Amino acid sequence: MITNEKINSFIEKIPPAPKALQTTIMFLNNGELTKAAQIAQTDLALKSYLKNIVNKPIYGFKNEVSEVSQIFGILGVSSSQQTVYNYMITLLSPDKWELFKLKESTFHELQAKLSRRWKQILEHLDIDNKEIESAITLLPASIIVAEALFSEKKADVDLLRSVNNLDLNTILFRLCNLDLFDICEKISTKWEMPAQIAQIVQASSGFKPSNDDKLNNLGKWMHLLLFYELSQPMFIEAELNDFIEFQIEYVSDIYDEFATLMDIS
Amino acid sequence: MRALVKNGIGVFSPQGFLDGNNGGTFLSIEDIEATIKLNADMILVSLKKVVFFNRNGLDIFVKMFKKIREEKHIPVGFCDYDLKKYQAIHNFYKDDLNFSLFGSLSIAELFAASFKNSNKNVLLYNEDKSQRSAMAIELHDGGHNPILAQTQEDFNKKKSKENAYDVIVENTFLGQMGNNVAARVTGNAIIYTVSSFLDAEIGNIFNIAYHNNSLNVGFRLFIFDAYKVISMNVHALNFFSRLASSAAEYNATICFVGLTFEKTPITFKETLEDAGIMFFEQMDDILADKELLNELGASSVATVKNKRIINKVTVSELPKFIDATVATIEMMTNSNAIKEAAEVHAIKIENHDGKIASSIGFYGDIDGMVILVFPKDIAKKACQLLIGEETDDLDLILDTLGELVNIVGGKIKTLLSDEKINVNITLPRTYPDINSLLEISQNRKGVQVDLAFDNDKFLFFLTR
């Protein structure tokens, strides 16, 4: 159904990160917001994405924000970097979603929601680190990878899942000894994203906890956050709720704290 | 979201958070309609992967339970929860708890009508005495051996004994149980349990689809355990007469065991005997008598006079059947399956040792049965995707082979439907050795195709 050759071909076809993006991220890494905005301004698709995403209700801005310099100024270095990474991930998304009932706008909504809530979690955990803040951006890449690998095999997947409750991550691992998050890591390496980003996202799969307690704890929060968002009606309708398996035991020790933070009752 | 049916139990498995906002999106009206049409003896919602729920979130499923019960009269409820969730559900539905709660799926299986593994030693406790008794009765009816703890202390003491019980039942509540006819498989016979007054309702509570599937996959002996039947009226008499006529088409035998005629007219017995139904006083009169079992068709189909053979229509669709099998094996193994030889004759299997098999029937515009025979190690390889780990557990391998052949059946159905040929597939059946397969297929002519993947050989046989 899915072979290692197919995975390798998928990874090979991923283009390098565009130069304008690389330069924008480099300036953001150095804390040079103005220079980063000047470069970002030249990439019209990036500009449009930034404008679109920060004006979503979850960002809570009263007035429309339209200039890149304004956007970076309001977001600050860490969140600006996170948003640019989010844009990079969307470059991988398909023109038309086949496996999941997603639209471009719904996928952007998921990115925005995950990013804002992740920031809220990091503030709660008293973590101020732009790499860790950006880690959340790689998580939705797992959805894109699942779409890319399984969309042509939807009928087979449906048939398989009609007799056995397997999630896509498990199917892929059993077939190729490689899971969706391993492929996300390969993408992050190709795009020269900081190594810590992939480590946290690997732990957030709930499939292979990290040996590093700090990273593992962040993985738990991210895993629970993912399922908190995937339990929203729009993402259940998109059939995202069960694309990977929720590891309830993995997050049991942080659940109460999460519920309090997200005001769940 | 759709329920996954396994061992006669349909299970929904929502993940994450379940509240009033998203409850409706987990379950659409179409999902509920599809669930009603499922051939399941029990419908459950697993809370194993639900980290949070409130009453509004559960209500959508509870409404579905009500609808299913009204239409199908089968048990419904939640399963796979911890004590905290169990108490929460009790609190939400204090006086309105008319569905069941099963601590785990394996506990629920004990109470399912067609669960095939009976004779389990089951320790059970519930602080409510009437619940305790109801569970014990249900378990006993299902062919298990319930051991009741009378107090929590007694339960804890018994529970601490290692390996003393096959299953321990706690945090479980029986709502309205199904009043459908329980069915269990013993060897190659199917035993249906009926009780109290048999009237026109038998037509609603008897799972005719299950019965027909059983006939299609080769079961030839059906026993009605009627020890607890008080009486039967003319509507039930007509029902059993019709059942006997349809069984006769397959040369199948229907027996009643333990039925008394104190309150049922003795003329009914004569009518039923004329229809071909046999009567026995004790279950052992049949099950312990191998010669009789042979005669009745439960141990061998040597006496079965099934003259139906594979026909031109079925053979003309042969490539579709092979395509479906090859595509499934390729999907499951990521390797190429190759067709080697194809011939029409009765099934020929060289070297019976270490081989297992599985079959699935299809009926509708065309009828037939596909049989796959594998060396055990090759079956393990073909089922690797579904099993996920190395195992020598034959039951698990056979169960998984059943799933694999179910996928083959699903693919056949789809491929034929593309050609406007509509068929339904039966439940898969598995055979732990070749002798048990030959009991049902030895004299049937069919198309045998030898297939290979990665140089491992297996056999495909299509017959009617």
Per-residue confidence at B343, pLDDT binned at 50, 70, 90?
A: confident
Please give the helix or strand (H or E) that residue B66 lies within, else none: helix B55-72
d(CA B43, CA B213): 20
Average pLDDT over residues A126-131: 88
* Per-residue pLDDT tens digits for B396-443: 888 888 888 888 888 888 888 888 888 888 778 888 888 888 877 777
With H, G, I as helix, E, B as strand and everything else as coil, classify residue B460: strand
Inter-chain Cβ pairs, chain A and chain B, closer than 8 A: 92
Per-residue confidence at A249, pLDDT binned at 50, 70, 90?
A: very high
Residues in chain A with CB shorter than 8 Å from the CB of B410 are 159, 162-163
Cα dihedral B441→B442→B444→B450 (10° resolution): 80
Per-residue confidence at B81, pLDDT binned at 50, 70, 90?
A: very high
Mark B153-182 as b/e (b = at least 16 C-beta within 10 Å). eebeebeeeeeebebbbbbbbbebbbebbb
pLDDT at A225 over 90: yes
pLDDT at B268 over 80: yes
Q: How far does chain B reach from its first CA to its final CA, in angstroms?
A: 35
Per-residue confidence at B7, pLDDT binned at 50, 70, 90?
A: confident
* Per-residue pLDDT tens digits for B239-260: 999 999 888 888 889 999 989 8
* DSSP string for residues in B284-297: HHHHT-HHHHHHHT
| Contact between chains at B410 and A159 (C-beta distance less than 8 A) | yes
pLDDT at B109 over 80: yes
Please give the helix or strand (H or E) that residue A38 lies within, else none: helix A33-42
Per-residue confidence at A165, pLDDT binned at 50, 70, 90?
A: confident
Average pLDDT over residues A34-51: 90
pLDDT of res. B89:
94
Average pLDDT over residues B40-51: 91
Nearest CA in chain A to B389: A174
Identify whether the C-beta of residue B410 lies closer than 8 Å to the C-beta of residue B357: no
| pLDDT higher at B12 or A207 | B12
Region class of B38: left (phi > 0), else alpha (psi between -120 and 50), else beta: beta
Per-residue confidence at B298, pLDDT binned at 50, 70, 90?
A: low
Average pLDDT over residues B454-464: 83
Nearest CA in chain A to B28: A237
State CA A242 to chain mean position distance: 16
Residues in chain B with CB shorter than 8 Å from the CB of A161 are 4
Residue B92: count other Cβ atoms within 10 Å of its Cβ. Answer: 17
Closest CA of chain B from A15, distance in Å: 28
| Contact between chains at B49 and A230 (C-beta distance less than 8 A) | no
Residues in chain A with CB shorter than 8 Å from the CB of B50 are 248
pLDDT of res. A27:
92
Mark A2-41 as b/e (b = at least 16 C-beta within 10 Å). beeebbeebeeeeeebeeebebbbebbeeeebeebbebbb
Type of residue at B332: M
Identify whether the C-beta of residue B233 lies closer than 8 Å to the C-beta of residue B198: yes
| Contact between chains at B4 and A160 (C-beta distance less than 8 A) | no
| Contact between chains at A1 and B334 (C-beta distance less than 8 A) | yes
Residue entry with tokens 């051939």: B39
Average pLDDT over residues A96-105: 90
Identify whether the C-beta of residue B89 lies closer than 8 Å to the C-beta of residue B103: no
| Contact between chains at B331 and A1 (C-beta distance less than 8 A) | yes
Q: Give B464's DSSP letter.
A: -
Cα dihedral B359→B363→B365→B370 (10° resolution): 10
Per-residue confidence at A114, pLDDT binned at 50, 70, 90?
A: very high
Average per-residue pLDDT for chain B: 83
* Per-residue pLDDT tens digits for B169-179: 999 998 866 55
Mutate to test the interface with B, among A3, A158, A163 (most CBs of B within 10 A): A163
pLDDT at A57 over 50: yes
With H, G, I as helix, E, B as strand and everything else as coil, classify residue B279: strand
Average per-residue pLDDT for chain A: 88
Mutate to test the interface with A, among B2, B15, B21, B454 (most CBs of A within 10 A): B15
pLDDT at B91 over 70: yes
| Predicted model pTM | 0.76
Q: Give B401's DSSP letter.
A: H
Please give the helix or strand (H or E) that residue A11 lies within, else none: helix A4-12
Per-residue confidence at B180, pLDDT binned at 50, 70, 90?
A: low
Identify whether the C-beta of residue B76 lies closer than 8 Å to the C-beta of residue B44: yes
Tokens linked to B316? 């003309």
Average pLDDT over residues A215-227: 94
pLDDT at A89 over 80: yes
Nearest CA in chain A to B324: A156
pLDDT of res. B188:
67
pLDDT of res. B84:
92
Nearest CA in chain A to B1: A239
Burial tier of A256 (Cβ tally within 10 Å: 0-12, 13-18, 19+):
exposed
Please give the helix or strand (H or E) that residue B250 lies within, else none: none
pLDDT at B278 over 90: yes
Per-residue confidence at B44, pLDDT binned at 50, 70, 90?
A: very high
d(CA B268, CA B272): 6
Half-sphere exposure of A195 (CA within 13 A, CB side): 0
Average pLDDT over residues B93-105: 88
pLDDT at B118 over 80: no
pLDDT of res. B114:
66
d(CA A265, CA A256): 10
Partner residue opposite B385 with nearest CB, options A171, A228, A245: A171
Interface list for chain B against chain A, based on CB atoms closer than 8 Å: 1-2, 4, 6, 11, 13-18, 21-22, 24-26, 48-52, 327, 330-332, 334, 384-386, 388, 403, 406-407, 410-411, 414
Residues sharing a CB contact under 8 Å with residue B289, sequence separation 6 or more, in sequence order? none
pLDDT of res. B390:
80
pLDDT at B117 over 70: no
- Tell me the percentage of chain B whose pLDDT exceeds 70: 91
pLDDT of res. B304:
40
| Contact between chains at B17 and A2 (C-beta distance less than 8 A) | no
d(CA B396, CA B380): 10
| pLDDT higher at B163 or B357 | B357
d(CA B357, CA B434): 7
* Per-residue pLDDT tens digits for B303-334: 343 434 456 666 777 788 888 888 888 888 77
